[in-house]
Every structure is written in structure tokens, then in C-alpha cells.
Amino acid sequence: MRVGYPASFTPELLALLPAGIELVPIPSHPEEIYEIDLWIPPPAPAIGQRIWPHLRGVRTILSLMAGTDWLIALAPTGVTICNAQDAHNIPTAEWTVTAILSMLKYFPWYHQMQQSCDWRSRSQIPDVYARIHANPTPTFPPIQQEELHGKRVLLVGYGSIGKTIESLILPFGVELTRVARTARTQPVPVHAVSELDALLPQAEILILILPLTPQTHHLIGASQLSLLPQGALLVNAARGPVVHTNALVDALHSGRIRAAVDVTDPEPLHPEHALWKAPNVLITPHIAGITPRSAPRAVGLAARQIGRILRNEPLLHVVHTGS
């Protein structure tokens, strides 16, 4: 079996792959054709899309990431695609909770003060709070941050990453409502995505961690954003196109909501895009699942999958069969 892999793999990652295969390093800018049976694509879709026309004979693709929408769009009939389920649960869940806390604790504002070496503008934080929540009533002492405890959280996407997010956020004492493609009552209540609009008005925090499909494309648009309560926080750790970007920019400028996003549409954002400078938004460059431990977990999973092929066992985490 000829296995194509990113030429940038470290020796430590290569050592995780099983014996009995022929390893074919594939550069990010290929200039020749590569005949391989199995492809381990790079995590970056843009690089993978550039490589794909140089590949021949691929029957199986083992993604190193949870999201495979771009691979499904590339793959012809007969190619099996597996995702790296569970490999990125912990870092993505940690990013999600960190992003929520960063916004509720007003860290972006305090970081700006730190850069200016002057805390005097902390007196503006109560005004920021008042604008976000449309509540001009003075408080004593003046508000300097918010609490996660007691917040109503709507978790849209209840796969393995969603369940990991749940395990990290529940200890904060939140009121959690779960949403998935279909409703169920066991082992915990889960609402169907068809109920989303009815659930949004109670969501002080909306977490998106669902795959990008034709059904979830622009799932959150102007109508859905208008249903969120004043001051709600939208957190997108899923895929950029799950949210209608122009509608998000408008909602942020209206002062009704705030957002923390690791993914955008388009991605990357061009320098002039309006989302960069929209108010009350924290943006990171699609890094939620990437840590020093995530790559070994993902490559280790790919190694086990290759072992299953060599033993004629069925693959795990198949998301596309190409049939």
C-alpha cells in the first residue's frame, strides 16, 4: 500500500505509522504526479486543494481533522473518506470555553489597556456593559466583568466535540440546552435543529460546533441573529459558512450581540473585510483544534486506520463512501 502524507511531517509523527506500507512524502507545492492508494491530507484545505490534482489512484482519504466538507467536495465516486473523530475534542472544547470566558471577562478590552500601559480607561467598562446589555442603570461597584455561572447556553452540535464542550462547561453552573440533527431523550434531552428558532430567544450564549453540510450552510442568518436576546454571545467553532457573515457584521454593528469566532467566511478574511473591525468580536485564525498533542492523536488514529485496512477490517469514522 502506497500512503501519501504531508512532506512536513516530523520524524516523531512518521514513527507512528505502521510497518508494511510504502510512505510517499507529498510537498505542499507538488510539481509531479503521485500514484498512491491512501492519502493523509494536510490540515489546511487550501494546500490540500492544490495537491489533489497531482494525485492518482487514491481510494481512501484519512483526514487529520474533524471537518471533511472540503474533502467530500473534492473526492470522486469510489473514494472513502474518514475524519479524525476525537483527535481534536479537547483543544476545540478548551478554545470554546476560553473564548466564552475571554469575552465575559472583557479580556480584549483589558488587553488594549495593557498595550497602552494605562488602566484609567477601565472606567469605560461599565459603559461597554451597558451598551451590550442595553441596560444604562448604574451599579455599585461599577461592573468590570461578567460571570459564566448561571448563563443559559445553547449548544448546537452534539457530536464528540460537543459532548466534550458540555463536560467542560457544565461545572461552571450553566443552564445547558443541546441541539442536534434529530431529537432524542436518552441519555440526555437533545432538541432537533428544526426547533432552533424557538430556542434562540433564551440563549445568552450560542455555541456552534456542527459540521458544514448543505443543510447547515447559513443556518444562522439575519433572522436567527435577530431572535437572540440583547447581549447574547455567539461562539462559532464549527465552520465559517454556518453563519451568514454579512448578517453577523450587521448584528455586531447594531450592538445587539457579541461574538467569538475561530472560523470565518471567507477564510482567511481579506484585509479590508468588515468583520475585522466590527465591535464586540474576538477572532482567531482557525486554530481551535491545533496543539502540540493534537497532531500525534490524529496521526495515531490514521495509523490505526491503516492497520485496519491491512487486516481487512472495516474503517472507523467513515463520513463519505463515494458510492
Residue 213 C-alpha cell reads as: 453540510
- Residue 190, CB-side half-sphere exposure with 13 Å CA sphere: 19
Active site residue 218: no
* Choice among 88, 178, 191, 239 that is catalytic: 239
Q: 16 — phi, psi (to 5°)? A: -80, -20
Amino acid at 111: H
Quick one: which of 3, 5, 9 has its CA closest to 30? 5
CA pair distance 205, 295, nearest whole angstrom: 30
**104-108: long-range pairs with CB below 8 Å, 24+:** 104/145, 104/146, 104/147, 104/148, 104/233, 105/145, 105/146, 106/144, 106/145, 106/146, 108/282
Amino acid at 270: H
Active site residue 267: yes
> CB count, 10 Å around CB of 22?
10
* Choice among 286, 297, 317, 320 that is catalytic: 286
Active site residue 146: no
Q: Is 218:190 a contact under the CB 8 Å cutoff?
A: no
CA pair distance 207, 165, nearest whole angstrom: 9
Residue 65 C-alpha from the chain's centroid:
10
CA pair distance 8, 2, nearest whole angstrom: 17
* Choice among 267, 273, 304, 308 that is catalytic: 267
- Which residues are identified as catalytic? 239, 267, 286
